[in-house]
Amino acid sequence: MNIAAVSHRATIEYCYALDGDTVVVNIRTGKDVDRAYIISEDPFIHELRGEERWSGVRSEMSFLAELKYHYLWTARLKPKYKRLRYYFELESEGEAYVVCENKICPAEENDRESMQYFKYAWLNISDVIAPPGWVKRTVWYQIMPDRFCRSKTSPPDEKFRKWGDFSDPEWHDVYGGNIRGITERLGYIRELGFSGIYLTPIFRSDTNHKYNTFDYWQVDPDFGTEDDVIELVDTAHSMGIRVMLDAVFNHSGHRFFAFEDVIEKGRGSRYYDWFFINSDDFAKRKFTTEDGRLYTFSFWAPMPKLNTNNPEVARYFTDLCVHWAKDWKIDGIRFDVGDEVSHTFIRGLNDEVKRVNPDLFFLGEIWTDSLSWLGGREYDSVMNYPLPESVTDFFKNPDLGFTDLIYSLNYCRTMYPEQVTGALFNFLDTHDTPRVAEVSKNTDELLQKIALIMTMPGSPCVYYGTEIAMKGVREPYTRMTMPWDEIDSGKYDDIKSKISALIRLRNSRAELTSNEFEFFVSDEAPRLIRYRKSGAVDVFINAGFEPCKISASGKILYNNGFKNGELGQYGLLIAEA
């Protein structure tokens, strides 16, 4: 057996509470392992029984997923006394091996006296990771307010460019989209099937994106007022739509009051320690950060990095979020650059805000493995960047087969505890990435990709304009204005209806939200994507170059390119199993 491929630790990567009664235990092995067993019992059971030595109950583990070089095995245990001691036995090519905390060895060589067992110490209900239950049932729509819709009641303003004019665009262009404009278009959003909207920052700054906040307590005047936000939230809620705001707490803008005070007074400012400043004359020379005189977001000098280790900074932003939750009644907060703020800050913030609303959703913007942030008292979930990267890689690389995509999808859906996977923020594009329609060969391939995220566990999100196949490879073209005149005229009704049907199918079939997959690989059609969800719904996506013969005996739930038993190139079929 390939011992080096075996991995397990009694931490949330491999061992976690699913609920108040169930502990999930996973182990990773090489592909030479044929069966896996877990031997488990209460760590003190031998004392209760009056026995000299501890022993456990042997049960076979279930096969969880195949990765490129590994297998994952899983067991769900219900420890009667809320405690668990355990070790593993693996079978490989007729040989048995023992896996415990301090060694892996052939079973016949195992010395019970020297074994150190794994232990799940105690199932504390307060430690169970529990994202809000509504999240996995939500389909999000991401909006950049400046580019989405300008209210019909808004007066003209010369500083705004003509809506839709993207000739010779500049970084600083503003178009006048606002909060009331979003409220006026909630019917459009709801009709498409969305049940949540995520707004990029709405607070005062001098940019169109607002990620350089000057005043966290004031809605940017270009966007409207606090009353406009309250009206948006109330109206959205009346339509069954949740609202999530963007929190930029890693850094501020250079005209944030605390930073202006530091520029004026230097070390004499009471806000000096609100930032990471390493040179007394940081603002007296060319304003740059490459020499480390102060820390900023990336190397953008006008975005000074906030010291979220500082209790005053933590208090300032905690009060702000409590205000959003209590007075505005928002449903979620997305934390920009969520991996650079301090763990202590997020834990404290989570505790206080969720006393106001226990069901409020905390989402971290983290582009890589985020396990250290997902222990139950920080973020409920993160943006699932590995998923769009996997989807994009597969569709752009014709040498990859469905097996390669399976490895990537399995990695994405087994990175975190199961309940976190169910709340992962799944997307194909955002304001920070090329638009998915731009990197798709045609709208049929776009539909295939959207079908993938609509049938994955997690909470899918569509970037505004994707429903009309809006294109753009880089900023500012990835942030163009919505062409409302063309939309209202019916120009995009065909693609809109096809994407809406996928969203509505997601909303109507609980199987599509599950993490239960059965994959089917075809030697004749290596790029035919086929999987079954919860034993009930089959998904077929032809990412190959020739039509494929497929058998779909159940009721057809979605069809784009399937006829007479043949799924055409770029075809998509979803049917009951």
Active site residues: 336, 365
Name the token pair of 385: 């960047």
Dihedral of alpha carbons 159, 165, 169, 171, sign: positive
Q: Report phi then psi at 503, rounded to 5.
A: -65, -45
Peptide bond into 476 cis (omega under 30): yes
Q: Which residues contact 227 (CB under 8 A, 6 or more apart)?
A: none
CB of 381 within 8 A of CB of 135? yes
Amino acid at the residue 66: E
The percent of the chain in helix, strand and coil, each rounded to the nearest 5, is 30, 25, 45
CA distance 142 to 211: 15
Distance of CA 373 to the CA centre of its chain: 12
DSSP conformation class of 201: P
Measure CA of the first residue to CA of the last residue in the chain; give whole Å: 37
* CA distance readout (Å), 397 to 281, 311, 368, 531, 541: 51, 49, 22, 20, 16
CB of 141 within 8 A of CB of 197? yes
User: Please, where are the H alpha helices in 455-492?
Assistant: 484-488
Amino acid at the residue 424: L
Distance of CA 152 to the CA centre of its chain: 34
Residue from 451, 460, 483, 432 nearest 185 by CA: 483
Per residue, the 3-state secondary structure of 396-458, as one string, reads HCCCCCHHHHHHHHHHHHHCCCHHHHCCCEEECCCCCCCCCCCCCCCHHHHHHHHHHHHCCCC
Residue 43, by phi and psi: left (phi above 0), alpha (psi -120 to 50) or beta? Answer: alpha
* CA distance readout (Å), 176 to 141, 162, 185, 189, 463: 20, 9, 15, 20, 19
